[in-house]
Amino acid sequence: MKAVQKSFRRWICLEIRIADKAGFCFGVDRAVKLVYESLEKGCTVTLGEIIHNPDVVSDLSVRGVRVVEAVDQIRDGETAVIRSHGVSAQVCRQLEDRGISYIDGTCPYVKRIHNIVREKSESGYIVVIMGDSEHPEVQGIAGNCINEPVIIADDRGLTEFLKKNNGNSQKRLAFVAQTTYNINMWSVCKKLIAEYIGDCEIYDTICSATNDRQNEAAELAARSDIMIVAGGKNSSNTRKLYDICKRVCPKSFLVENASELNMIEMLKGFSDISNVRIGITAGASTPAHIIKEVKNQMSEKLQNMDEDFNFEEAIDASFKRLYTGNRVKGYITAVNNTEAIVDIGTKQTGYVSLDELTDDPSLKPADVVKVGDEVEFIVLKVNDAEGYINLSKKKVDAMVGFDKIVKAKDEDAVLEGVVMSVVKGGVLASTNGVKVFIPASQATMRRDEKLEELVKKTVNFKIIEVNEQKGKAVGSIKEVLKAEREAAKAKFWESVQVGDKFKGEVKSITDYGVFVDLGGIDGMVHISELSWNRIKHPSEVVAVGDVLEVYVKDLDKDANRISLGYKKDEDNPIVKFENEYNEGDVVKVKIVSITPFGAFAQIIPGIDGLIHISQIADKRVTNVKDVLSIGDEVDAKITEIDSEKKRISLSIRALLEENAAESDAE
Ligand code: F3S
């Protein structure tokens, strides 16, 4: 072991080079100076953070500089500083309208773009801005266009736009780029523009500071073993710089300041660290003192590694130690047909087999994860001797899923799941990767419903019982259905009006009427409302399961009672009779009852007329039954229709007399 101990004092050659163009660019330097100068004028606010660097922002905050996001947050008497990104024309107008004095820290290069887009849009061009639509600089540029500009992020978006507009646009296009736009991407975009449209204007607006810094960083990174990029992690130009360095020098690190330097991490993987070359660059918003501090601390840390420092042990110590059951995050580094390989920051390689990735037999590893994904796992087995760790994603999914189930129970929330199978006493539903048992009594609203019909269906249920130790949960579909029914009822009662029409199924029949389900609420159709004809029992007209079109006749919201009507006016036999028959018509009628003063005869179902005893024959009749019997069908003349009293008079005699007169005439 002693043999591998290494003295860094002897081995490390301190070649640390700082890029000439690291740190504040001209525009940022100018804006920051303007803020510090403005402190003398009293209260100062900046519209957004003056630069994306937490150290500078907090230093300014200590000096009383507030950061505001909008003009209406500025107090009277405060002086505002516009940062180098610039703002829209509307923001400047707002400041002026409120009489707020402001110092314009917009970088002159950005100002140039504002002028281009204003002028071009005023001349009727459509301005196309290549950049990040969320970036304040791009929003400021867009806000200086007179008409709506088009903002496109990359070559893919540009190709789509160009294809769509190829030859269609009535207006000419003017292209500009965000000052920090990637120079290579801009070249690709320019080629695409030339390919699709000849007649347009392209302005090279990428700031040379960015270009120079990026080129220099790439060159330095290519000559370095370790590259450090110093700058705010939310600064887009710093991140771009880091990406460029990382492509050339895989051991590139992004740090906000010197405190984030991790020598062990940086030196990991070097078997021979003599003559390690270190390069440092920094984003446009990184102050010089941070760059200096990074360099000084680097040298100091390397110098302080004494002769007893054991690099391998230190690297070993920097690795995580994992044990079975640990929960760990890792990055997918490769995926094949049977497993995924994972970097979990340990000496050992992590493997996750297909059956530990998913329960779904139709999926392959690549359907579940892809290279670069950050995924959480449970350690199944650590094999130090062979240098691998078996992992399970499925178990984490189930744990995460179970947490959701516990939360759903606490919050009485409704979960969605799929019924997988019928089991003894109920069904199993799957939700969030967890199986939930739903007892038969909680699976349906009615006992006679078949559980098999639920299989493979998506259902909503509530969790009614959880056993966290055993990882088991019991659910209820019925509770959700009941709640839905209650909600529907409440809604129904809120809105229902007399006269509303519904379609409903006959649920039950009694001697006095039928109950119709109006969607969770039952209404009753009284027997007298079922038919215009006289019926003895509702079953003469309807059967259970029939769907009826009904309307609300009467409501008692306090007693939750609804009386329904079913008979339709157009079926009313009186209406039918009046439409089809007139006084003087001769009709075939059927004797339905006999009284001492005459016989009642049915003209059409539901409409009877009276043949008075004096009208039964052309001679005197003393007893109706001598001439007519129930069931006889005879011809009679309608002699009177009294609509008001709903009385119809019939006469056989009139008909006989008419016939006799006609015979005499012949
Ligand atoms: Fe200006 Fe270029 Fe800096 S546009 S703000 S000098 S990166």
Ligand 1 geometric centre to CA of 333 (Å):
37
Q: Is the pLDDT of residue 416 over 90?
A: yes
For a pocket test of ligand 1, which of 35, 179, 181, 212 has the largest count of ligand atoms closer than 8 A to its C-beta? Answer: 179
> How confident is the model at residue 13, as a pLDDT?
53
Calpha distance 63→647 (Å, rounded): 103
Question: How would residue 317 be classed by pLDDT, with cut points 50, 70 and 90?
Answer: low
> How confident is the model at residue 276, as a pLDDT?
81
> How confident is the model at residue 4, as a pLDDT?
32
Question: How would residue 451 be classed by pLDDT, with cut points 50, 70 and 90?
Answer: very high
Nearest in space to 22 (alpha carbons), one of 181, 183, 204, 237: 237
Atom of ligand 1 at shortest range from CA of 31: 5
Ligand 1 geometric centre to CA of 27 (Å):
5
DSSP state of 153: -
Question: How would residue 326 be classed by pLDDT, with cut points 50, 70 and 90?
Answer: confident
CATH number attached to the domain at 2-21+210-315: 3.40.1010.20
> How confident is the model at residue 432, as a pLDDT?
84
Nearest in space to 5 (alpha carbons), one of 270, 308, 305: 308
The CATH number of 496-566, from 1.10.760.10, 3.40.50.1370, 2.60.420.10, 2.40.50.140, is 2.40.50.140
> How confident is the model at residue 639, as a pLDDT?
95
Domain ranges of the chain: 2-21+210-315, 26-107, 109-206, 327-392, 412-466, 496-566, 573-665
> How confident is the model at residue 11, as a pLDDT?
46
Please state which architecture CATH assigns to domain 327-392.
Beta Barrel (2.40)
Say if ligand 1 is within 6 A of residue 140 CB: no
> How confident is the model at residue 190, as a pLDDT?
94
Question: How would residue 14 be classed by pLDDT, with cut points 50, 70 and 90?
Answer: low
504 Cβ partners below 8 Å, 6+ apart? Answer: 516, 517, 518, 519, 523, 547, 548, 550
Give me the amino acid identity at 373: D
Would you state the structure tokens that stand for residue 408, as one six-digit string?
């759903």
Percent of the chain with pLDDT over 90: 53
Atom of ligand 1 at shortest range from CA of 180: 7
CA distances from 131 to 48, 147, 179, 246, 247 (A): 19, 18, 9, 22, 21
> How confident is the model at residue 173, as a pLDDT?
93
Higher pLDDT, 658 or 314: 658
The CATH number of 26-107, from 3.40.50.11270, 3.30.460.10, 3.40.1030.10, 3.30.450.40, is 3.40.50.11270
Average pLDDT of the chain to the nearest whole number: 87
CA distances from 658 to 146, 599, 616, 637, 661 (A): 97, 21, 14, 10, 5
The residue contributing the CA closest to ligand 1 atom 3 is 27
Say if ligand 1 is within 6 A of residue 26 CB: yes
For a pocket test of ligand 1, which of 83, 109, 111, 178 has the largest count of ligand atoms closer than 8 A to its C-beta? Answer: 109
Higher pLDDT, 314 or 550: 550
Atom of ligand 1 at shortest range from CA of 109: 4
CATH number attached to the domain at 412-466: 2.40.50
Question: How would residue 646 be classed by pLDDT, with cut points 50, 70 and 90?
Answer: confident
Domain 2-21+210-315 shares a fold with domain 573-665 = no
Q: What mean pLDDT comes out for the span 122-147?
A: 94
Q: What mean pLDDT comes out for the span 514-525?
A: 90
Q: Is the pLDDT of residue 37 over 80?
A: yes
Nearest in space to 410 (alpha carbons), one of 460, 461, 466, 486: 466
Say if ligand 1 is within 6 A of residue 113 CB: no
Lowest mean pLDDT across 357-361, 403-407, 656-660: 357-361
Q: What mean pLDDT comes out for the span 391-412?
A: 89
The question of whether 137 is a catalytic residue gets the answer yes
> How confident is the model at residue 168, as a pLDDT?
61
Say if ligand 1 is within 6 A of residue 654 CB: no
Ligand 1 geometric centre to CA of 106 (Å):
9
Calpha distance 497→622 (Å, rounded): 57
Lowest mean pLDDT across 1-15, 141-155, 506-520, 570-584: 1-15
> How confident is the model at residue 310, as a pLDDT?
56
Lowest mean pLDDT across 1-10, 58-67, 266-275, 316-325: 1-10
Q: Is 612 exposed, middle or buried (0-12, 13-18, 19+ CB in 10 A)?
A: middle
Question: How would residue 314 be classed by pLDDT, with cut points 50, 70 and 90?
Answer: low
Give me the amino acid identity at 159: T
The domain made up of 109-206 is a member of CATH 3.80.30.20? no
Lowest mean pLDDT across 291-305, 510-524, 572-586: 291-305
> How confident is the model at residue 352, as a pLDDT?
93
Higher pLDDT, 42 or 555: 555
Instruction: Residue 618: count other Cβ atoms within 10 Å of its Cβ.
Output: 14
Question: How would residue 43 be classed by pLDDT, with cut points 50, 70 and 90?
Answer: low
> How confident is the model at residue 582, as a pLDDT?
93
Q: Domain 573-665 is classified in which CATH homologous superfamily?
A: Nucleic acid-binding proteins (2.40.50.140)
Atom of ligand 1 at shortest range from CA of 213: 7
> How confident is the model at residue 8, as a pLDDT?
42
pLDDT digits (tens, 9 = 90+) for 339-368: 999 988 777 889 999 999 987 778 899 999
Q: Is the pLDDT of residue 295 over 80?
A: yes
Q: What mean pLDDT comes out for the span 76-94?
A: 93
Question: How would residue 316 be classed by pLDDT, with cut points 50, 70 and 90?
Answer: low
Q: What mean pLDDT comes out for the span 97-107?
A: 93
> How confident is the model at residue 661, as a pLDDT?
82
Query: Residue 580: beta bridge partners?
Result: none
| SS percent in the chain: helix, strand, coil, step 5 | 35, 30, 35
Calpha distance 157→306 (Å, rounded): 55
Nearest in space to 129 (alpha carbons), one of 118, 611, 564: 118
Q: Is the pLDDT of residue 7 over 70?
A: no
Q: Is the pLDDT of residue 148 over 60?
A: yes
> How confident is the model at residue 307, as a pLDDT?
47
Query: Residue 608: beta bridge partners?
Result: 602
> How confident is the model at residue 318, as a pLDDT?
54
> How confident is the model at residue 6, as a pLDDT?
38
Higher pLDDT, 10 or 147: 147
pLDDT digits (tens, 9 = 90+) for 200-228: 899 999 988 888 898 899 999 999 999 99
Catalytic site residue from 49, 137, 356, 529: 137
